[in-house]
Amino acid sequence: MKCIFLDGSSLEPDDLDIARLKASCSEFKFYNETSKTDLPARVQSADIIITNKFVIDESVINMAPRLKCIAVSATGTNNVDLEAARSRGIAVTNVQGYGSNTVAQHAMTLILALSTNLINYVQDVRSGAWARHHLFCLLNHPIQDLAGKHLVIVGSGEIGQALAKIADGFDMKVSFSASLRPETAAKAGAGSRLPLSRLLPDADVISLHCPLTEHTRNLIDAKALSTMKPSALLINTARGGLVDEQALVDALKDGQIGGAGFDVLTAEPPKNGNPLVDNILPNLIVTPHCAWGSREARQRMVDDIALSINAFIKGEKRSRVV
């Protein structure tokens, strides 16, 4: 079996042990990046392709006559044409649960930073505002306790559950919104969870941990933002596109909500600009899609890919999407 990794640099592999991954196939090629020019020659003889964000559409699949398996080094598989793979009998695997703790940790970090106005207080120290102040302390930005506050989590998978566990340690009230999947929501007695629209007006913090689908795109739009508390915080470490970004900027400027912390954008990197990057607001924190990137999480990902490839070669199904 010949295996190639098309865009390995996206994992920042320099601090990782990829020995198991290299040993998973008789021939292994690791490419930091792959251009469209390089692509045909690289995939032509590949039995297994590993991709993180490189798009494997039908045209790429047709370039690889020997292709038997596509291993996605992420949970989301929207960069792979699953129907084209299925029609060719090509297996598709993904990696799940590798970053649950680190993403939940990042979400809580954003909640803490916003609720304590951390970034603004750090800037006050760096600018000399504290040194110029006449009192021993500087309290010119509002600070709020998290204890007793209502955290609404959208998405009850591993990351959402991990965040709920952390929030419990801060004595927060935690609610999960009802499923956003139409087939689940339509079932009578689908559960005791309230729909998001019912939870938004009471939420002090909303944290998004759901996939981006046709049903969740712009889930938080201008209408939803208008129903939130003026002190509420909105956190998104899931997917860009879940929130109408311009509507969010408008809401922050107008004081409709208290603050927002985002690790994802609709287009990444934001080479052509983005409302959340172009507007420097005191109650907005944006990080560069790094929530998943702890060394431990990336190592778990690499090891999990190796396990899935070994299982595929043995004829076993593991982490299969197709």
Count CB neighbours of 202 within 10 A: 15
* Selected catalytic residue, list 83, 268, 296, 316: 268
268 counts as catalytic: yes
**Mean pLDDT, contiguous 10-residue spans, the chain (322 residues):** 96 94 94 96 97 96 98 93 97 95 98 98 98 97 97 96 98 95 53 90 97 93 98 97 98 98 97 97 97 96 97 96 96
pLDDT at 179: 85
HEC sequence for 237-296 = CCCCCCECHHHHHHHHHHCCCCEEEECCCCCCCCCCCCHHHHCCCCCEEECCCCCCCCHH
Tell me the one-letter amino acid at 245. Answer: E
Distance separating alpha carbons of residues 178 and 195, to the nearest angstrom: 5
Distance separating alpha carbons of residues 95 and 51, to the nearest angstrom: 11
Distance separating alpha carbons of residues 9 and 189, to the nearest angstrom: 46
pLDDT at 192: 80
Of residues 242, 204, 200, 256, the one with CA closest to residue 224: 200
Reported as a single tens digit per residue, the pLDDT across 45-63 is 999 999 999 999 999 999 9
* Selected catalytic residue, list 193, 289, 318, 320: 289
Distance separating alpha carbons of residues 49 and 30, to the nearest angstrom: 10
Q: Which helix (H) or strand (E) holds 104?
A: helix 100-115
On the question of a cis peptide bond just before residue 269, with omega within 30 degrees of 0, the verdict is: yes
- pTM summary value: 0.91
Count CB neighbours of 193 within 10 A: 15
Distance separating alpha carbons of residues 30 and 24, to the nearest angstrom: 13
Reported as a single tens digit per residue, the pLDDT across 190-249 is 568 999 999 999 999 999 999 898 899 999 999 999 999 999 999 999 999 999 999 999
Distance separating alpha carbons of residues 134 and 259, to the nearest angstrom: 29
141 counts as catalytic: no
289 with 52: CB under 8 angstroms?
no
pLDDT at 188: 45
Helix axes 158-169, 100-115, angle to 10 degrees: 40
* Selected catalytic residue, list 106, 158, 209, 239: 239
pLDDT at 32: 96
293 with 38: CB under 8 angstroms?
no
Give the angle 2-6-10 at the CA atoms, nearest 5°: 135
Q: Distance between terminal CA atoms of the chain?
A: 19
Query: Domains of the chain by range and CATH?
Result: 2-98+295-313 (3.40.50.720), 100-286 (3.40.50.720)
